Amino acid sequence: MTYPRIKGCLAVLGLLLGCGTHTMAQTTPTPQWRPVYHFTPPQNWTNDPNGLFYQDGTFHLYYQHNPFENKWGHMSWGHATSKDLVHWQHLPVAIPERVTADTTTMIFSGCAVVDAANTSGFGTNGKAPVVAIFTAHLPKQKKECQYLAYSNDNGNTYTLYDHNPIIDLDMADFRDPNVFWYAPTKSWVMTVALVNEHQVRFYGSRDLKHWEKLSDFGPAGYTKNGWECPSLLHLPVAGSKEEKWVLLVSCFQDHGPLMQYYTGSFDGKQFHNDNPADKELVVDYGDAFYAAIAWRDAPQRNPILLGWIQNGRPETYPWKGQLSIPQDLSLYQSGEGLRLRHQPAARVVKALPRYTSGQPLVQYNPASHPVKDTTVTLPGNNGNAYWLTASFAVNGSSTAGFNVFENKQDGRRITVGYDAAKEELFVDCTASEKQNKSPENLVMRAPMKAVNGKVQIQILADRSSLEVFGNDGEQVISTMVYPAANDTGISMFTKSNAILKKLELRNIQL
């Protein structure tokens, strides 16, 4: 969650959030930066996704939200639903901040589960309740504890449990519970962050109301700043029937957000890390992806991940904050062990023809249009909302990629590509984002090897959102950008014998 994070990381967030406490509020609408196919609230602030669950063909999304202002504060759970993870129906606030004469209770991040067996006893008329478990942030008491609320109307409204808190350690930084059903022990398991201890605590429960400590994991991996938003997921391993556990943790590094992960085993009480304690595995190499959690209960083998794309500069209005593209999660066997793969969710890809007039704007045929060692201008998109997929054959010195959000007259562009000599996927914002990013974040790089002499790049551009997936999600770079109104060009480049093998470009309009 955000308040303690901002308080503890002012140096970083002065760049990420534009030092909102020191600047005048933005009141000029910025529709040019409103994403088309990424989730944003109709108005006001949003950050972490919360309480993801799937029921009766509908994806439910809650999110950290300020219902009153376009800045952090009054934290509550906003609510939206979708059938295809692209088009969202916005609903009233589901769990609002509570203010009484004695205290203020902000509704920080958490989870929601469909209690199919009614283990909690909150269900009525034979219908399974939806149970939300979240962090209650109590600024007057200077502490955080875990609360429960339940719903008997499909998650639209919630009733607070009479005996809250369900877990209280009398700690200032103790947050972000995430709960799942563990079938072997027929019990619920919770992960929750002991922020400053760099630990994930595991709790177990039979009824979602009474919890006992199971174990602690950590410190491990990156530990310079506090841990947040832990989540334990069971993921399939590509090319096999095997499944493995992955623990996700969010934190801040020196120049922005970091999501790290650990692969291992879980015995119902304790998570066992497969890697040395000092091994750092990175979810996303950009400067924006944070606090991601998953829909675990969708009717498919892969959990679907959703993260917050952190706000940058300048301000947007009348909303601030957006979420990532939903992503299917799996593991693959690399030369160094199991690694995370996340790529745009198959459900989103399947829905694309409905939002792209059915046909790509550009579809490349390598037999009739060989492209090698050249620069080619592609048809532009005046809305700057498109989905580009390409593959290249490369050798040891090749470079290939695209200039997006390009304005050749003014020299502005963002360069996305692959450097074979360095074995890196990269996003270079130097030519357009110097006023909006710290120097360290102008060029973002992810280590990536060619596979049989080929690399694949997906570019999801959405007005102010840029997500780049390499080799079917082996590496990902997510960032925020702020192109000028006429920065709408797209060009492709190939150097040192790089050869284009495939290209598809789709404009997206909802």
**282-326 pLDDT per residue, tens:** 999 999 999 999 999 999 999 999 999 998 888 999 999 999 999
In a domain, residue 260? The reply is: yes
Catalytic site includes residue 254: no
In a domain, residue 375? The reply is: yes
Confidence (pLDDT) at 231: 99
d(CA 495, CA 372): 7
d(CA 431, CA 413): 6
| Residue 289 and residue 153 share a domain | yes
d(CA 132, CA 147): 8
| Residue 268 and residue 379 share a domain | no
| Alpha-carbon dihedral 30, 32, 33, 37, rounded to 10 degrees | 130
| Residue 102 and residue 46 share a domain | yes
**415-473 pLDDT per residue, tens:** 999 999 999 999 999 999 999 999 999 999 999 999 999 999 999 999 999 999 999 99
Confidence (pLDDT) at 369: 60
* pLDDT under 70: residue ranges of the chain: 1-25, 357-359, 361, 365-374, 380-382
| Residue 326 and residue 372 share a domain | no
| Residue 167 and residue 249 share a domain | yes
Encoded tokens for 338: 């199991």
Confidence (pLDDT) at 413: 97
| Residue 363 and residue 340 share a domain | no
Residue range(s) defining the domain that contains residue 434: 356-507
Q: What is the CATH number of the domain that holds 320?
A: 2.115.10.20
In a domain, residue 76? The reply is: yes
In a domain, residue 129? The reply is: yes
Confidence (pLDDT) at 377: 79
| Alpha-carbon dihedral 31, 32, 36, 40, rounded to 10 degrees | -50
| Residue 338 and residue 270 share a domain | yes
CB 324 within 8 A of CB 462: no
Pick the last residue of a domain from 346, 365, 382. 346
| Residue 437 and residue 340 share a domain | no
In a domain, residue 281? The reply is: yes
In a domain, residue 351? The reply is: no
**259-268 pLDDT per residue, tens:** 999 999 999 9
| Residue 362 and residue 323 share a domain | no
| Residue 118 and residue 36 share a domain | yes
Question: What percentage of the chain carries pLDDT values higher than 70?
Answer: 91
d(CA 175, CA 110): 8
Confidence (pLDDT) at 376: 77
- Three-point CA angle 52, 5, 263, nearest 5°: 55
In a domain, residue 74? The reply is: yes
| Residue 305 and residue 195 share a domain | yes
Out of 48, 297, 462, 487, pick the active-site residue.
Answer: 48
| Residue 452 and residue 331 share a domain | no
Report helix, strand or coil for 352. helix
Q: What is the CATH number of the domain that holds 430?
A: 2.60.120.560
In a domain, residue 287? The reply is: yes
What total of structural domains would you count in the chain? 2
Cα–Cα distances (Å) from 482 to 277, 307, 465, 485, in that order, read 38, 20, 8, 9
Confidence (pLDDT) at 363: 72
